[in-house]
Amino acid sequence: MHDTDDTAAPTNRLRVACGVFGCAGAPGAADVVYHGLHALQHRGQEGCGITTYLDERFINERHPGLVGEHFSNGPLCERLPGQFGIGHVRYSTQGKSVGRNLQPLYADLPGQSGLAIAHNGNLTNARALRELLNDRGSIFTSESDTEVLLHLAAHSDELRIEMRFLDGLRQVEGGYAIVALSANKLMAARDPLGIRPLVLGWMQDTGTPVVASETCALTQVGARFDRDIRPGELFVTDGDSHKSYEITPPRPARTCAFEYLYFARPDSVVDGVQVYSARKTMGRILAAEAAVDADVVVPVPDGGVPAALGYAEAVGVPFELGIIRSHFVGRSFIAKDQSARTRKVHMKHAANAAAVAGKRVVLIDDSIVRGTTSRKIVELMRKAGAREVHFRSASPRITHGDYYGIDLSDPKTLLARTHPTDAEMAAALHADSVGFLSIDGLYQAVCDAPRDPARPQLSDHYFTGEYPTALTDRDAGRADRHHQLSLLEEVD
């Protein structure tokens, strides 16, 4: 899943939409949110924002870039006072991630009540709703589908803010984890299938509630994990008392498989499953399904490491750091001559000849998307003297796009589509062989059971083409071109 082309635009990268965090009744809420977002930074690095509430005012700060660049300086809790706060980290999924598209979004609703909202995921009927709202006179000032929810809440006939919000949630479809802040109220909502993760915990010192995309953020802020927000649940709290509403009737979560494969931090527990353990098991099952004779098992860092450990344990072949990953920024400008172009190929990965020269290498990665990086890494291994290079993916073949917040780029460019057989793909990657985890292998690793075709336990459409929800916008052919506005703001 490292289909990053170092030399090209960042659009080739697989991206998850975002991470969200919120707390209520916590002294110094902004500081709690800051630390929570820091632990969720892997979910989005192109923008961040925090909104707090105090004395009938919402205070909002949003910036392009990393949490630690913007919220670690100066007296944060003076800038953003209050005991209620929500925050967001984002990947841009569309165009330039600037100004108006950062979250939390905010709006004044009827009755002079304010609502701030932060969203991970994607609504599959946002454009249909947008057109409807547009026809009713609503105007849109951001490109985000999150704005739709603010309008739906504004148009609700309900009086109380949480009922308005619930009203809105009942009209949207798709995958989402949402935190929202109104006057002295924190709300957290998860989509009816639980595609996107969202967890609830309690601060160990104050006993007040915290919600976050992943458990690792709870640990970071000193909160105890309680439970996952249930699929279709809207959780509302004023810090002291709490109430849950059903957006839809409860059902078991059908979590996005990619959370286990790639997005979640290995130390998180998602819907009851330890991510690190699941990944190691994927490696073990991959070994059972697609082993190859080799001298060393080399992970493609960082994503492939747990699966490679599992694979190496299963086959009894040494695990070696055959690829060194640089964690430093390494953007390259356009190279004019061949010589310069060569230099630019690998700014993120370097071969460790000590580990691979003269060896038969089996590379373990978490996935193969477009194959651009995979091919380069195979080449790196060969240049470093590897005798054979085999490529194994700890996820099944990715053949379909996503509509719930993952940017898989144009499905037509997916390598598993353009090169449907293992032999074709091996040729494309210049690898001696390739192999994939099976779909049942994936389910076995995550759910400890094969896939139930009648009611699949996970969202797995990128592998199967079976989308768990309606795709209203896609089916209506609603194009993406409603984004009429390019925004460049404050980017001094």
How far apart (Å, rounded) are the C-alpha atoms in residues 475 and 469? 12
Residue 29 token pair: 């809420």
Q: Which residue's structure tokens are 């109220």?
A: 185
Look up residue 180 and give its two tokens: 């929202």
Buried b (16+ CB within 10 A) or exposed e, 350-368: ebbeebbeebbbbbbbbbb
Q: Work out the end-to-end distance of the chain between its first and last CA atoms, rounded to an integer number of angstroms.
A: 33
Phi, psi of 255 (to 5 degrees): -60, 145
Nearer of residues 175 and 306 to its own copies, judged by Cβ: 306
Q: Which is nearer to its own copies, 276 or 404 (CB)?
A: 276
Q: How big is the CA angle at 395 (ends 389 and 401), to the nearest 5 degrees?
A: 115
What string of DSSP letters covers 443-457? HHHHHSS---SSS-S
Q: How far apart are the C-alpha atoms of 13 and 409, rounded to whole Å?
A: 8
Q: Which position has the token pair 């909502």?
A: 189
Separation CA 60–CA 88 (nearest Å) = 11
Our CB check for its own copies shows the closer of 215 and 459 to be 215
Please count the other Cβ atoms lying within 10 Å of the Cβ belonging to residue 124: 22
Q: Smallest gap, in angstroms, from Cβ of residue 119 to its own copies?
A: 15
Over its C-alpha atoms, the chain yields an Rg (Å, rounded) of: 23
Closer residue to its own copies in complex, CB, 73/241:
73
Q: How far is CA 484 from CA 132, 191, 304, 489, in A?
A: 18, 29, 39, 16
Query: If phi over 0 gives left and psi between -120 and 50 gives alpha, with beta otherwise, what is residue 194?
Result: left
> Which residue lies nearer to its own copies by CB, 27 or 465?
27
Least separation in angstroms between residue 103's CB and its own copies is 12
Of residues 136 and 412, the one with the C-beta less far from its own copies? 136
Closest Cα to residue 297, out of 283, 286, 311, 284? 311
| Burial (CB count <10 Å: 0-12, 13-18, 19+), residue 99 | middle
Question: In angstroms, rounded to a whole number, what is the distance separating the alpha carbons of residues 130 and 374?
Answer: 39
Can you tell me which residue has the tokens 């809105």?
A: 168
Does the active-site annotation cover 18? yes
Cβ pair 174, 191 in contact under 8 A: yes
Q: Rounded CA gap, 198 and 211, in Å?
A: 7
Helix (H) or strand (E) holding 53: strand 47-54
d(CA 20, CA 198): 8
Q: C-beta of 240: minimal distance to its own copies in Å?
A: 18
Annotated catalytic residue, options 18, 23, 256, 447: 18
Which residue number, 277 or 399, has a Cβ lying nearer to its own copies?
A: 277
Tell me whether residue 357 or residue 471 sits nearer to its own copies (CB atom).
357
Structure tokens, 41: 């930074």
Nearer to its own copies, 8 or 427 (CB): 8
Say which residue the tokens 């690190």 belong to: 276
Residues belonging to the active site: 18
